[in-house]
Amino acid sequence: MREVAEYAKQTGDVTICVECVNRFETHFLNIAEDAVAFCKDVGTGNVKVHLDCFHMIREEKSFAGAVKTCGKEYLGYIHVNENDRGIPGTGLVPFKEFFNALVEIGYDGPLVIESFDPSFEELSGNCAIWRKLADTGEELAIEGLKNLKAIAAEI
């Protein structure tokens, strides 16, 4: 990774984000603490952590704790999805706690809604997506954004 990160730095302003993925999908980098240690070990300054709410709810003890572990220095990218990968704000993810922690560290990077559709057969089997989580992708995005904005407005 160090070689790739050095090349990315030479090529331009490129940041590499490594995603923490739950233990049911990989044994590599399951929690923020491990991902930050990995970024520090690479030591190039352009390798950061990608947090994903779907994986966090399975692995992290605290959403705020994971964010604070990364801090602004190491947090580079976020998937704001629900525990079932459905419409954000309709499930178990503690978005208010999560957003408060993001504000606290001064995070100003992307927040991306990620979901999957079972009609993409190549992906649905690998990601265990067996049912539609919204009628359309547009509904998921529009309703998810509406819900996330409402939660953010409370902060």
> What distance lies between CA 37 and its chain's CA centroid?
17
Catalytic residue among 6, 19, 33, 97: 19
> Residue 67 — φ and ψ, nearest 5°?
-65, -45
At 82, list the tokens.
């629900």
Residues 109-146: b if buried by 16+ CB within 10 A, e if exposed? eebebbbbbeeeeeeeeeeebeebbbeeeeebeebbbe
Q: What is the C-alpha separation between 97 and 68, in angstroms, rounded?
A: 12
Known active-site residue 19: yes
Catalytic residue among 6, 33, 97, 114: 114
Known active-site residue 3: no
Q: Would you name the residues annotated as active-site residues? A: 19, 114
